[in-house]
Homo-oligomer: A and B are copies of this chain.
Amino acid sequence: MTFRSEVEKWCIQEVTAAGRTDGNPFTDYTIKGIFSGKNETVSVHGFYDGDGIYKVRFMPSFEGHYKFTIEGTFCENAGDPISGEFDVIAPEHGNHGPVRVANKYHFAYEDDTPYYSVGTTCYVWELQSDDMIERTFKTLREGVFNKIRFCIFPKHYAYNLGEPRSYPYVGTPMDSSILNDENFGQYTGREGDNNWDFSRFNLEHFRHIERCIGRLSDMGIEADLIVMHPYDRWGFAWMKPGDDDLYWNYVIARFAAYRNVWWSLANEYDLMGGKTLGDWERNAGIICSEDPYNHLRSIHNCKLMYDYTRPWVTHCSIQRQDLYKSAELVDEYRVRYGKPVVMDEMAYEGDIQYGWGNITAQEMVRRFWEASCRGGYAGHGETYLSADNKLWWSHGGVLHGESAERLKFLHGILAKTPGIGLKPYNKERSDEVVAVPEEEQFCDVYSYYLCYYTFMQPRFRDFYFDDRTKFHVNVIDTWNMTVEDRGTYYGHFRIALPGKQYMAVQLIKTE
């Protein structure tokens, strides 16, 4: 048995033990750890990691001395617990813990640092070549995004018909040489020419993914794991409930101890013809019982919105329902669901033939600002045609678009919000999108206003709050990324604007 004698809070203690190799170690034996410190006792299932090695992973939520015991049928002397002790030390700089819901509609790390989600989607960036993966990490290092959505299963879809670097199961995939742009839609994997053993996981697939999760964690990026999805030619979308359950348990046992994990039960769950509402609720139940850290949980729709009021759902992960209004509905979704609203798919910046993948950078940035000033969050994706047929949205790699740096600029503005999170300010004027701090209530005058003018191009706007409160006024060009200090105002005042789209006015109450 091996384990570390000292582990950082919200990092991983991994206990490794040798065990049985006869039969099918993935299904025939169990391993479980019970970890106890002063403030918590956590029981977690472990997993088989090949070559007779079993592992149990644990993420401590408190500092101090911990003891643990390992038990299960995995070793010959089943029933004899193995035990040990270790110390949990303070988190290092940059380790803020897992992201939690805060202020009902927002997020913060467990150490109370606000988390303003600026996500992107690269469905199978981690299943590309080493080169390509490094290019993605290099792009992510620019620091625009603090969340990335990606799949555990490989993806079969337009612009993504190649073989993944590895498969999740032992076996052989169908012959992909017969695929082309026209016929790929016929291959759903339902009655395929695939040959998988759904009871034996391909360890290299999972080891590789968890290395990626770990590197993302080091970069401060949340891993919004899409555990299931319909873009499939291998049958992974059509597994039976027993196989699904095995998969879910294995995924949770391996990944849950990474502090940056979010569970996205599925992408476009409603396109998965093999699953029922009962399946999704059962899968959610597995997460709730098997993930002791209560990582964020959601599920992503295509046409049919999931009922995000379900108690297991921690936040909405919404795809737009309308060609013209997406982020513009965030305030309505807040009312409807009473949870954080993340517009994970509002169409992507790009120029492919599909409407979901050909909006301008300006429109992408505009939608982010709409979502932000309506008290929610948005997701980026990029789908520009490129010579190498690598699209960020699917493969990762490099960005060709112009929205990303503007999203970083937006994040900088959001990070200055007093308290945690913005909420929509409902007043009589319907021709601006105004946000105030979420936690200020029953105020005649708030301490902070962020007023966004979206596609409109006023030459000025008039303001009045009361006769005496002074505000420091900044005029923000959200596209050109400038903040112009306009000084202090009170009473009735007029702020000149340049008569361009995408402007905002920030009003900060002064003493």
Contacts and interface: CB of A to CB of B under 8 A. Distances in A.
A454 B431 CA distance: 22
A24 interface: no
A363 interface: yes
A458 B353 contact: yes
Interface stretch (A54-62, A80-88, A123-131, A354-362): A354-362
Contact of A430 (B323, B353, B458, B499): B323
Contacts of A455: 359-360, 363
Contacts of A351: 457-459, 499
B458 A358 contact: yes
Contacts of A354: 431, 458
Interface string A454-477: 111111111000000000000000
A454 B360 CA distance: 11
A355 B431 contact: yes
Given A323-B430, A324-B324, A360-B501, A353 B457 contact: no
A325 interface: yes
A456 B454 CA distance: 17
Interface in A320-374: 323-325, 328, 351-356, 358-360, 363
A303 to B, nearest CB: 10
Count this chain's copies in the assembly: 2
B456 A358 contact: yes
A346 to B, nearest CB: 13
A433 to B, nearest CB: 9
A243 B358 CA distance: 57
Given A328-B324, A360-B501, A355 B456 contact: yes
Interface in A436-457: 454-457
A328 B429 CA distance: 22
A121 to B, nearest CB: 18
A131 B85 CA distance: 94
A86 to B, nearest CB: 55
Contact of A457 (B360, B429, B456, B499): B360
A456 B359 contact: yes
A501 B304 CA distance: 29
A385 interface: yes
A459 B357 CA distance: 11
B360 A431 contact: no
A387 to B, nearest CB: 13
A460 to B, nearest CB: 6
A210 interface: no
A432 interface: yes
Contacts of A353: 458-462
Can you list the 3 inter-chain pairs with the closest CB atoms, starting with the nearest? A355-B431, A351-B499, A351-B459
Interface of A: 323-325, 328, 351-356, 358-360, 363, 385, 429-432, 454-462, 499, 501
30 contacts: A323-B328, A323-B430, A324-B324, A324-B325, A324-B328, A325-B325, A351-B457, A351-B458, A351-B459, A351-B499, A352-B458, A353-B459, A353-B460, A353-B461, A354-B431, A354-B458, A355-B429, A355-B431, A355-B432, A355-B456, A355-B458, A356-B431, A358-B431, A358-B456, A358-B457, A358-B458, A358-B459, A359-B455, A360-B457, A385-B459
